[in-house]
Structure 1
Amino acid sequence: MSEFSDLKVLIVEDEGIVALLIEDMLQDLGCEIVTSVGGLKQAYGIAATAQIDLAVLDVNLGGERSFPVAKILRERGVPFMFSTGYGAAGLPAELSGSPVLSKPFSAKALVETLSLALGESQLR
């Protein structure tokens, strides 16, 4: 059993193949994918109401940024991590300390970033 078993995860990713890759990697770790969405509007409602333990947020969703979704999650106390090709430098100041999974990534990098996101949420 993994330390991530039964972790309920929201994936916000607009690239279908990348979303499937993240889903597969998380499921291999024992996570439950609550839902995977590709748009900002869908992500708002789910982030505000769904019972989730963690969210993986692509920074760029078809030209829109996922930062408002991160703020909703932060207000709810739900840990999150960004998945991006821009690196941590692409985050606004108020989210600059958030865990970042740099694309492309390995399973090892995913596990490390998951651990970081979950560990930070326990410090809040």
Structure 2
Amino acid sequence: MAEILRQRGIPFIFVTAYDASEISFRVSDERVLKKPVTGDEMLGALRTVLPHHELKSTA
């Protein structure tokens, strides 16, 4: 899935229980959030990969 998103130029974030170093198919500049993830962490990561979109907290 990651390769398809890369080919299409679609930004994404890995959310996983693994450390970033354990994801062999990851490109070095791709974001990885390790579970458990808070809403603030997710929002912050989304802001980095989607800098031109308005992302609002629901809190």
Same-fold status (TM-score > 0.5): yes
Structure 2 length as normaliser, TM-score?
A: 0.72
Bigger helix share = 1
Considering Cα pairs closer than 8 Å and 6+ residues apart, tell me whether 1 or 2 has the greater RCO: 2
Aligned residue identity for 2:6 = R
> Are residue 114 (structure 1) and residue 46 (structure 2) matched?
yes
Aligned residue identity for 2:23 = L
Q: Using the alignment, how far apart are the partners of 2:4 and 2:18 within structure 1?
A: 22
Ranges in structure 2 where 5+ consecutive residues have no aligned partner: 52-59
Percent same amino acid among aligned pairs?
37
Runs of 4+ in 1 over 6 A off after TM superposition: none
Structure 1 length as normaliser, TM-score?
A: 0.37
> Are residue 73 (structure 1) and residue 5 (structure 2) matched?
yes
Flag the 1:117–1:102 CA change in 2: closer, same or farther, 3 A. same
2:23 match: 91
Ranges in structure 1 where 5+ consecutive residues have no aligned partner: 1-68, 120-124
